[in-house]
Amino acid sequence: MDQSANTPTIGFGSRVRKSPFFASTRSWGCNAFSVYNHTYMPIHYGDPLQEYQQLISAVTLWDVACQRQVQISGPDATRFVQLLTPRNLSSLAVGQVKYVPLVDENGGMVNDPVLLRIREDMYWLSLADSDVLLWAKGLAWGHDFNVQITEPDVSPLQVQGPMATDVMQAVVGAWIRDLKYFWFRETDIQGIPVVVSRTGWSNERGYEVFLRDGTRGNELWDIIMAAGKPWNISPACPSQIKRMEAGLLSYHNDMNLSTNPFELGMGKFVDLDQEADFIGKQALKVIARDGIRNRLLGAYIDGAPLPVNEHRWPVTVDGKAVGELTSCCYSPTLEQNIAYIYLPAILATAGRKVTVQTVVGERAAELCELPFVKNRAGDNAS
């Protein structure tokens, strides 16, 4: 990515936290950051496209310490955590992970973390960018929950890419090959306490390593980098291209408090029939009964590779503004521009042609169901 004189700069200050891996990311050449959960988040090491190639062909190490944890523990932890999400957690075992949309009393998305059941009565929410610590503490206030709600000293790394299992075997041992998708194990790495889960923000093979001692971040980084050398490990950051190819959504980009899970195609994570109560149950029942007003779909956009959108772009049909493009990128693997588009449910049908007002002019686009496919003419019907 060219670093011209006009590339906007960021200031480092004590208002925003530095990750335990900050010094490592800087010494490995990271010079581009954003802020996420009040923490500096590395966003690329100079060339996001090269990082994407490394991610799909070898293995990459990401500093995602900004993905903060909220820990809920105590005798009523299970009941309280269930209250936070419409997903039915009754089958969640210790050692298991689930993706859990969190919604407010209107059914609007508060966050979309993964949930780790660390012990019978202790959970971690591994968060997107909103203060779920305050949300959960507020909810607990004045009610009869025997829970402690804290932000523990836990900072994740992600090891993602086809060689991730080989690297992790070198780091933690052969048991990693038996770790099932969306399960985790507590262990240590040369004495550094960690939780290792088979999860991550790509659809490559991947792991998250949750560091449990913030003073040892750079030590852990170095261990993984050294172990990964035979597989050509390289530092990278969460990839907009890869997460879109995987059909993954991003909080604030593609959803917020005014979006509900049904609009996002997350109906499978909503159990309205479960006995347990959860926040937003009544509102989501009404939405389920009356139908959604808007929906998020995929789209293919014609023409030359588009830049990543800096803000939402207007979407029109017959010259009339109807919706918004929330995210887009050019996918080298699919060899086309892909996007998410949020628009009235009545217009949200795969195959519909719409127009996107991009930053480089009008572009024709075609709505599609997710995930995206390579040869859409042939495959879309399946």
Considering beta carbons, is residue 44 or 216 the nearer one to a copy of itself? 44
Number of residues forming the site for a copy of itself (CB under 8 A): 55
Please report the DSSP string for 49-88 in residue order.
HHHHHHHHHS-EEEE-TTS-EEEEESTTHHHHHHHH-SS-
Residue 216 DSSP class: G
Candidates 3, 215, 333, 349: give the one binding a copy of itself (CB under 8 A).
3
Q: Does residue 155 bind a copy of itself (CB under 8 A)?
A: no
Min CB(183)–a copy of itself separation in Å: 29
234-236 and 60-63 beta bridge pairing = parallel
Enter the tokens of residue 366. Answer: 């075609």
Please give the angle made by the CA atoms of 345, 201 and 179, to the nearest 5 degrees.
125
Q: Output the six-digit token pair for 31.
A: 């010079």
Least Å distance, CB 71 to a copy of itself, is 14
The one among 134, 321, 346, 359 contacting a copy of itself by CB under 8 A: 134
Beta-bridge partner residues of 5:
none
Rounded to a whole number of angstroms, the minimum distance from the CB of residue 227 to a copy of itself is: 28
Q: Which of 94, 226, 276, 308 is in the footprint of a copy of itself by CB under 8 A?
A: 308
Does residue number 246 form part of the binding site for a copy of itself (CB under 8 A)? no
Tell me how far apart the alpha carbons of residues 281 and 272 are, in angstroms, rounded to a whole number: 7
Q: 234 forms bridges with which residues in the sheet?
A: 60
Contact status: 180 vs a copy of itself (CB under 8 A): no
Interacting residue with a copy of itself among 131, 219, 366, 369 (CB under 8 A): 131
CB of 257 vs a copy of itself, minimal distance in Å: 8
Give yes or no for residue 14 binding a copy of itself (CB under 8 A).
Answer: yes
Q: Is-contact 57 160, C-beta < 8 A?
A: no
Within 65-124, the residues that bind a copy of itself by CB under 8 A are 104-105, 110
Q: Which stretch binds a copy of itself (CB under 8 A): 132-140, 179-187, 281-289, 297-305?
A: 132-140
Helix (H, G, I), strand (E, B) or coil at 118: strand
C-beta neighbour count of 286 within 10 angstroms:
11
Whichever of 132 and 315 has its CB closer to a copy of itself, that residue is 132
Give min distance, CB of 254 to a copy of itself, in A. Answer: 9
Residue 70: phi and psi, rounded to 5, are -110, 125
Contact between 168 and 161 under an 8 Å Cβ cutoff? The reply is no
> Nearest distance from residue 72's CB to a copy of itself, in Å?
13
Q: Which stretch binds a copy of itself (CB under 8 A): 2-10, 159-167, 180-188, 291-299?
A: 2-10
Which phi and psi (to 5°) does residue 208 adopt? -115, 135
* Residue 221 CB contacts under 8 Å (≥ 6 apart), including other chains: 21, 24, 61, 63, 157
Using CB under 8 A as the criterion, which residues of the chain lie in contact with a copy of itself when the complex forms? Answer: 3, 5-18, 31-35, 38, 43-44, 104-105, 110, 129-143, 240, 250-253, 257, 279, 308-312, 326-327
